[in-house]
Structure 1
Amino acid sequence: MGKLTVKEVQSIIKKSEPGRYGDSGGLYLMIPKSGAPYWMLRYTQHKKRRALTLGKHSHLTLAEARTAAEEFKKKIRSGEDPIAERKREEQAVINTVEDLFTDWHQGLVNRLKHPNIPKRIFIKEIAPQIGRHPLNKVSPMDVRSIIQKIAESNRPSIANDTLMYLKQLFNHGIKLGLITYNPASAFNVNDAGGVEKSRIRMLTLDELAHVFQVFRDHRDNFTRDNYLACALLVVLGVRKSELTESKWTEFDLDKSLWALPAERSKSGVAITIPLPPQAIEWLRELKVRACGSEYVFPSRRTSKRPHMGSDTLNRAISKLFGREPGRKLQPPNHMGELEHFTVHDLRRTCRSLLAALGVPGHVAERCLNHKLKGVEGIYDRYDYFDERKIALNQVATAVEPLINA
């Protein structure tokens, strides 16, 4: 194969006929069907034919392309793989904690059902303090500062979760050879939020009456959307995020059905929820209040989230108890002597009401979209839709006078 000349190269470029034009030693001028002409080196390594792009013709002259080809061929003869080396160089550079999290989180997306949970904790709790720190500059003191700040804001579960994610994050850095030790490894739950006890809080009917009365008395602070969300959580027993992030496309109000998809269900199982008449009434009001939004509870503030925030309800409830994180001057306690409760306690309240109304345990568990345990869970595939409909209607009838007072 004869070598190309400068004039021949110019002629090929001018004609722009797609093809591969050989020089010598595996060097080719490539004219693609679309895009700019470029130089390519073809070679054989480990009995495989390989092709390496050297650069665009506009960036490399014929002489420069030949020089580059010879340099790569020397590396090939010494056993190096220039394609693998180039891929390694093109990998994302990881210098800061934020860079490390981005790389770590990509793997979580494929492994975890809810990868947004560690992402939310990183953005809110970790990134503001050490996100831009170089990896080798993060110390155990930084870790302690992060988890203590969360614990002092009376969020023990978040403190424990944050510590867990910090350990996993820096272990990922060790795995990649970016750091040699984990600054979070020596800490345990006692340094963060403490050993978490299973909550048993549920509200009696008398307590529910008091709570919804306080909600109504302070409607300037506790919005109507919050009020109806709590009402629906008590009556339907669904999880907070399943309700507050729901879209109108999931509902058929005429048929009194809510089709909760598997990807939004914490259990990973889709379920059709029968809606009591009271719930239909509240949802129709929310439809009007949504003002055309695709979400049942659209965000009322300018934010990246299009729906109600994950902590909106708990913060609103805590404020009525005289607790407002981040404020030195706390608001007055309007709940009186009532024991504090969280949004998840409303789901437990629904379960307790089902039991008090004589609903069989397996039906009550399916009302909450819990998987049945043991052998019963393996063989019992019946969905108990009709039984669930009767049970939820009973709960709605029991609490409606307290909510619609």
Structure 2
Amino acid sequence: MLTESRLRAAKAAPKPVKLFDGGGMYLLLHPNGSKYWRLKYRYGGKEKKLALGIYPAVSLKQARERRDNARRQLANGHDPSAERKAEQETDPECFEAVAREWFAKYSPHWAPSHSDKIIRRLERDLFPYLGSRPIKAINAPELLTVLRRIEARGTVETAHRVLQNAGQVFRYAVATGRAERNCAGDLRGALAPVKEAHYASVTEPKAVGELLRAIEGYQGDPVTRAALKLTPLVFVRPGELRQAEWAEFDLDKAEWRIPAAKMKSRVLHIVPLSTQAVTILKELHLLTGSGRYVFPGLRSRSRPMSANTVNAALRRLGYSKTDMTAHGFRSMASTLLNEQGWNRDAIERQLAHGERDAVRAAYNYAEHLPERRKMMQAWADYLEGLRIGSNVISFNARKQA
């Protein structure tokens, strides 16, 4: 039989350790120090396991009570795991039910990629440990134990994002009368700080020219090659590029209009197309124009190319993840356009950096558009000059001309 003193003194080992208490219940001690209550039992001739909570948020006494309750269910011919699942589906006040209700309410207003990430975090990192718990009964130490598990994987940024999502769920629970307070707010400063990361990028003009020549010589899939060539000319986010649809383009007007639903800022975004970009797209249209996506996947034309395609192509060209990334083309453009003296507001608008005032942003998607058209063509001409290695006239000189 376990004791509280033995539980507190238990030390992590290189491999998971089980400390048994009796009746099939044990404490699973992971190498990272996290401690999980489990119940091993047999039902229908098969061995099964039931999660009873996380120590110390769930004490030894509480774990035994949950074990005994599960044993009573078994004695009455019921599977505790199935009973737990049924409770989660019918109990509107358990964490999972509230979280799914919150997600269903707000996810229609998010970009698909954003909502996919959030539901994955909930289902992977929160539901297995807190899903069946009454949301009003969850306290800060219990939530912190779950977050420490994520930290132990070495994914500190994910831990912060999961805490943020948990806080949103708790606030929703408070607003709907199913919790009295947001315990996630008590964990401010409890997690290790996130080290600020920057996307690797090439910004020195000579190196940019070398990169563009490498792209020109890419020998892989022609659709991937087109994506590589177009990316520096439009410098949109990688997800916006790979999900581009032909219906969004007007090549006669030299314009790409990305719907608000696809944008991080949830605002329509206009991308003026240079003559070089239009040429690439017209050539690509011969290959993919009969389908929905400009850059369809290699395995299925009904889906866009994978998120890692452009990065994988850069690796194939000899650029490591510390040298250059697909997202790094945005840094390249921002750095060089600012150095060359273009209007900072025009650059920021073209980068589609978030507008704090959402209402204002919805009306200003075309802000600085004439200057942006001129800038995008000058940028394409500049890159072309770097690629062929000619003496390139600076942007300032072009603007004065």
> Structure 1 length normalisation: TM-score?
0.56
CA distance in 2, matches of 1:235, 1:296: 16
Aligned position for 1:285 = 283
Q: What is the correspondence of 1:236-385 to structure 2 with a 5 Å cutoff?
A: 236-290=234-288, 292-301=290-299, 306-309=303-306, 311-313=307-309, 316=312, 334-335=318-319, 339-369=322-352, 383-385=367-369
Aligned position for 1:19 = none
Question: Is the alpha carbon distance of 1:261 and 1:175 closer, same or farther for their aligned partners in structure 2, counting shifts above 3 Å?
Answer: closer
How much has 1:353 moved relative to structure 2? 2.7
How much has 1:248 moved relative to structure 2? 0.8
Give a deviation string over 1:57-96, Cα, whole Å, max 9, x none. xxxxxxxxxxxxxxxxxxxxxxxxxxxxxxxxxx964476
Q: Percent identity?
A: 22
Question: Is the alpha carbon distance of 1:255 and 1:368 closer, same or farther for their aligned partners in structure 2, counting shifts above 3 Å?
Answer: same
Aligned position for 1:235 = 233
Q: The residue matched to 1:194 in structure 2 has which SS?
A: coil
In our comparison, the structure showing a higher alpha carbon Rg is 1
Question: 2:397 matched to 1:399?
Answer: no
Runs of 4+ in structure 1 over 6 Å off: 179-183, 197-200, 371-374, 377-382
CA distance in 2, matches of 1:402, 1:159: 42
- Aligned length, in residue pairs: 290
How much has 1:339 moved relative to structure 2? 4.5
How much has 1:163 moved relative to structure 2? 2.7
Aligned position for 2:77 = none
How much has 1:193 moved relative to structure 2? 5.8
Give a deviation string over 1:305-349, Cα, whole Å, max 9, x none. 93234x42575378569xxxxxxxxxxxx337x944443331121
**RCO (CA 8 Å, sep 6+): is it higher in 1 or 2?**
2
What root-mean-square deviation, in Å, do the aligned CA atoms of Structure 1 and Structure 2 show? 4.5
Aligned position for 2:118 = 122
Question: Is the alpha carbon distance of 1:291 and 1:256 closer, same or farther for their aligned partners in structure 2, counting shifts above 3 Å?
Answer: closer
CA distance in 2, matches of 1:141, 1:381: 44
Question: Is the alpha carbon distance of 1:252 and 1:96 closer, same or farther for their aligned partners in structure 2, counting shifts above 3 Å?
Answer: same
Is the Cα–Cα contact under 8 Å of residues 170 and 184 in structure 2 kept in the other structure?
A: yes
How much has 1:276 moved relative to structure 2? 0.9
How much has 1:170 moved relative to structure 2? 4.3
Aligned position for 2:35 = none
Task: Could you tell me which runs of 5 or more consecutive residues in structure 2 were left unpaired when the two chains were aligned.
Answer: 1-88, 390-401
Give a deviation string over 1:233-280, Cα, whole Å, max 9, x none. 322233333322221111111332223334434444434432111101
Give a deviation string over 1:334-384, Cα, whole Å, max 9, x none. 337x9444433311211233234443334434433458999xx99999844
Equivalent residue letter for 1:120: D
CA distance in 2, matches of 1:118, 1:251: 24
How much has 1:396 moved relative to structure 2? 0.8
Is the Cα–Cα contact under 8 Å of residues 235 and 279 in structure 1 kept in the other structure?
A: yes
Is the Cα–Cα contact under 8 Å of residues 363 and 384 in structure 1 kept in the other structure?
A: yes
Aligned position for 1:168 = 168
